[in-house]
Amino acid sequence: GENVEQHPSTLSVQEGDSAVIKCTYSDSASNYFPWYKQELGKGPQLIIDIRSNVGEKKDQRIAVTLNKTAKHFSLHITETQPEDSAVYFCAASRTGGGADGLTFGKGTHLIIQP
Amino acid sequence: DAGVIQSPRHEVTEMGQEVTLRCKPISGHNSLFWYRQTMMRGLELLIYFNNNVPIDDSGMPEDRFSAKMPNASFSTLKIQPSEPRDSAVYFCASTLGGNTQYFGPGTRLTVL
């Protein structure tokens, strides 16, 4: 089955700086890679996703890049703000998450220092 | 839109008791997923349904766990008998047509 590795487990950055979280996956058949943000006491919420037919996707301050050859994808957050503090999870799926479940990384605790 | 609804939000029970967690997916969604979150193992898929039919339950840890989806708007996850190692946050998620999975707020289960 799929295995998703995520690094780092904790990331502390100064407010206004950029943050990068990296994930690798093992199943070459995976073609859907979402990123979720989880705040304390809440369920994960999708913040951005990418499919294997594109290499990069941006949405305001967040972007995701995908390298299918190397089987890794990354989340980039620019101009970080205090409300970005949360746990971020990457995930992978073969079919887009609807016909099968998501395999998650272990999460990255992002801390934005004022 | 009410989102995915889970109940109860918190459950504390004693070892050996039966526990039933409930989920109402977003109206119109045709796939439902149960996940478990622990510090040690992270977020794990337990089971998922497409059009109310269980598709893959290979993530269900033991026979003590069972899940049902009697109709498109309701699912249950039952643990009988419960054990302390079942303590975790259980999430339900739903989706339509292979797109974004929307998660509920979770049920925090504590088994004493």
Write the pLDDT tens digit of every residue in A33-87.
999 999 999 999 999 999 887 789 999 999 999 999 999 999 999 999 999 999 9
User: Is A101 within 8 Å of B45 when comparing Cβ atoms?
Assistant: yes
Contacts of B100 in chain A (CB under 8 A): 34, 46, 49, 97
Does B54 contact chain A (CB < 8 Å)? no
Give me the residue label for tokens 């995930």: A91
pLDDT > 70: what percent of chain B? 98
User: Is B101 within 8 Å of A46 when comparing Cβ atoms?
Assistant: yes
Contacts of A41 in chain B (CB under 8 A): 105
**Residue A31's closest CA among A47, A45, A46, A50?**
A50
User: Is B100 within 8 Å of A49 when comparing Cβ atoms?
Assistant: yes
Burial A31-42 (b: 16+ CB within 10 A, else e): bbbbbbbbeeee
Partners of B19 in the β-ladder: B79
